Amino acid sequence: MPCTEESEHWNYDNPSEWPKYFSAASGLSQSPIDININESISQSYPPFVFSSKYYSDELFKLTNNGHQVAVTLADRTYGQSDKDLWFTGGGIEGTFFFVNFHLHWGRNDRHGSEHQINGYRFPAEAHVVFKNPATGQLAVFAFLFTITNDPSGENLEWKKYTDVSSQLKNANDTMQCMFNLSRLMQVNERSFIRYMGSLTTPPCSEGVIWTIFTNTIPINEDSVNQLRQNLMRKVYRPVQPLNNRPIFRSY
């Protein structure tokens, strides 16, 4: 999730300390969570609809913010606008505009995802963050990864992310790169989980609409190792109590 100006007060080594500085972190609707599929509620959702720019290669800027490498739209280089990338539908009211995307990972393949499914932790998890400017509402798409040993099976957009990110070894390092968001996400081909939660980094504000896609994205272990070795060993928050929140599934 996006980093904040309070970033000097937290790191991934002491997430249990976050509530001392960020009161929302001790709230009752925190993220991430362990999703018990058997206790989720089946619900029918309309498809997501994306702006045309989602299907073209666009220029983005990657920034090491000291906690992760966040990817934002590049600074209007080719007449790009923050209003170019949006979605509607998927059972979420209003129009949501792209904010950033980033990846979470762990020290090894046994953990790294923030969300768990039936107690299972994945080696990595990506977040694509959106905001409805009319209401201030945040919505996050989460994607879970599995390790593939077949180089031809890897999602090439995410390989590009790890290749470039691993070069940004110091906080505030930046680099620009082309990405195709539709190939990065492949949203309408995936089943998903929906629930209400929070940012997973301070200030851990609640009221965030989460959509966790359950069909995994393949990534090569070498790609994740680049991040572990060159950037940070782990960047994920442990699961938080569900506190009787309903969890919905699209299938």
CATH number at residue 45: 3.10.200.10
> pLDDT band for position 204 (50/70/90)?
very high
Domain that residue 41 falls in: 21-233
The pair of three-digit structure tokens given for residue 45, joined into one six-digit string = 């959702």
What pLDDT is recorded for position 82? 67
Percentage above 70 pLDDT, the chain: 94
Task: Give the count of domains, the chain.
Answer: 1
What pLDDT is recorded for position 5? 42
Q: From CA 159, how far away is CA 170, in angstroms rounded?
A: 20
The one-character DSSP state at 212 is E
The one-character DSSP state at 122 is P
Q: From CA 35, how far away is CA 167, in angstroms rounded?
A: 34
Answer yes or no: is 246 within a domain: no
> pLDDT band for position 251 (50/70/90)?
very high
Q: From CA 192, how far away is CA 38, in angstroms rounded?
A: 14
Indicate the average pLDDT of the chain: 92
What pLDDT is recorded for position 233? 82
pTM: 0.93
The pair of three-digit structure tokens given for residue 249, joined into one six-digit string = 């599934």
Answer yes or no: is 180 within a domain: yes
Helix (H) or strand (E) holding 145: strand 138-148
User: What is the tens place of the pLDDT at every residue in 71-112?
Assistant: 999 976 555 666 889 999 999 999 999 999 999 999 998 889
Q: From CA 217, how far away is CA 145, in angstroms rounded?
A: 5
User: What is the tens place of the pLDDT at every residue in 154-193?
Assistant: 999 999 999 999 999 999 999 999 999 999 998 877 899 9
What pLDDT is recorded for position 243? 98
User: What is the tens place of the pLDDT at every residue in 104-134?
Assistant: 999 998 889 999 999 999 999 999 999 999 9
Answer yes or no: is 53 within a domain: yes
Answer yes or no: is 142 within a domain: yes
**pLDDT for 2 beyond 60:** no
